Amino acid sequence: MTTPVNNSDYYTLPDGLSRIEFLKKLANDHKIVLDPPQKKKEEFFDTFDRRLYSSNLVLVKEDNSYHLKSLTDGRELQAFEDTKKLSPKFWWDFPKCSLRAELKPLSSIRALLSLAKIERTVATLKVLNEDKKTVLFIFVKELVVISDQRRIKPCVVVQLKNVRGYEKEFKEFKSYIEELGLKNSKDDIISAAVSNQGKYPLNYTSKINVKLKPDMKGHEAARLIFENLLGTMKVNEFGIKDDIDTEFLHDFRVAVRRTRSALSQVKSVFSPEDTDKYKEQFSVIGKATNELRDLDVYLLTEDSYKKMLPEDLRGGLDPLFDKLTQDRKKACTECAQFLNSKNYKEIISDWQEFLHNESSDANSAANSQRPIIEISKEHIWKKYSKIIKQGRKINDATPDPELHSLRIECKKLRYLLEFFTSLFPADDMKTIIKHLKVLQDNLGDFNDLHVQQESLKKFLSSKDIGYDQSSSTVAAAGGLVSVLYQQQAVVRKKFKENFNEFSDKETTELFEKLFSDN
């Protein structure tokens, strides 16, 4: 996540210095004018992965109005008065307005969560010079975080704002408050409130975030990777159970798939018995969440599906999506029950205990003691070579399942690159992953279009969907299958071009430089 705010003007009070004592000290040492304090209640919204924050923005609710503001200077960009008390959860829950248009690309399919509710008292002070000119502003903000009607300890943030032409005075004042013991804070006011409440992680990312060292032993590096993936699973559990948005399950399942892939691909860092045991257990988790994810994907395509059809046929798809919506409710309940089950909790607890027990498998597996740099280069080069060999055999007559097989191999290579990216130059890894992603997108689109056609055919042949087969539903679904088939043909034609780019001389030489021992 990027750092969006220049926080150099934010400070926190040291222990032992209260807000009142700080204000008295200022009054003694400087000529100041204190405006009457202002108090107001605010509620801050962002997505779980803080997409607004990453764009230097925050969504604030005051009374019944929503305000999209710049985190950098507090400027209001858009606003909406919720007179009908809609309490929107997603961007599409807002009525058509400028705020909705701004939120659409920012939050996409993620819900806007209430990160924190605060009661903010702001004291504004003007610091004057000998000529009684204002040389800087000080905002002393006392935040009381309100959680479940309880008040958590107040947090005081001091913000300085300079005045043009008085940069020297601003610099001198910063030195003065630092001598008083105030510490420059990396947290903006929103982060301070969210951190104080401790409800959500501040720096969530679904990406693998581990720092491996080349000489690290195989089993040690593997444990770091697996612990990172386990953390991603656990932090997303509540969002699945509460059905907040579909990305919680998506990120959870990606972590599960990466875990299964690492257990299969990074061989012999644990004993065969342990490896087989945990591969089976994570397979159980994957299967328990398959149906809900499939239904999420189908329902997310509703708008794009309908746009593919003439307007008078679009309503014919409603029975399909009504049926999928009903099925999803059932699948969502079952998935939540699984995550609350004794079986799931025992799997996670057992895996966590295994990862923390560094003595297990220390000497019993062939790659357990080998440097991870050797293991990573070996696996990545082997997988890359297999993909090149497999891809070069594909031509216009190659059956579809062989493209699907290549897609799986590319996904395995992508996971390996992500596991071990910290061992290699960042720019080189970005270049390689960028080329691989283009090929993956092509193969993924091809596979998705195939799966979507088969699902529609299955829907049309089912007998318990409760629609009149002579109705417009048949025409709409049939027409959609035809459109998807044509799109699949177009995507397939692009495969050769994408594969040739991935296997060109430049990319091949980069793979050889990084991963080949020849």
Residue 153 pLDDT: 64
Nearest to 67 by CA among 75, 77, 79: 79
Q: Any idea which of 3-7, 212-216, 304-308, 419-423 has the lowest mean pLDDT? A: 3-7
pLDDT band at 299 (very low <50, low <70, confident <90, very high): very high
**Neighbouring C-beta atoms of residue 242, cutoff 10 Å:** 11
**pLDDT computed for residue 471 by the predictor:** 72
More confident residue, 452 or 387: 387
Cβ contacts of residue 150 below 8 Å, gap of 6+?
Answer: none
Q: Given the structure tokens 């440097």, which residue do they identify?
A: 371
| Per-residue model confidence (pLDDT) at position 3 | 35
Let me know if 357 is exposed, middle or buried by CB neighbors in 10 A (0-12, 13-18, 19+): exposed
Q: Which pLDDT belongs to residue 231?
A: 96
pLDDT of residue 1: 38
The structure tokens 């975030």 sit at 209
pLDDT in tens, 179-222: 999 888 765 556 666 655 556 776 788 899 999 999 999 999 99
pLDDT tens track for 307-321: 999 888 888 888 889
Q: Chain-wide mean pLDDT for the chain?
A: 89
Q: Which of 26-30, 470-474, 479-483, 511-515 has the lowest mean pLDDT?
A: 470-474
The residue among 473, 453, 459, 465 whose CA lies nearest residue 318 is 473
pLDDT tens column, 157-189: 888 888 889 999 999 999 999 999 988 876 555
Instruction: Please report the DSSP string for 169-205 in residue order.
Output: HHHHHHHHHHHTT-EE-S--HHHHHHHHHT-S-TT--
> What does the pLDDT average to over 14-19?
84
For 235-276, how does the pLDDT look when each residue is reduced to its tens digit (9 = 90+)? Answer: 999 999 999 999 999 999 999 999 999 999 998 899 999 999
Q: In the predicted model, what is the mean pLDDT of residues 358-376?
A: 82
Would you tell me how many other CB atoms lie within 10 Å of the CB of residue 156? 18
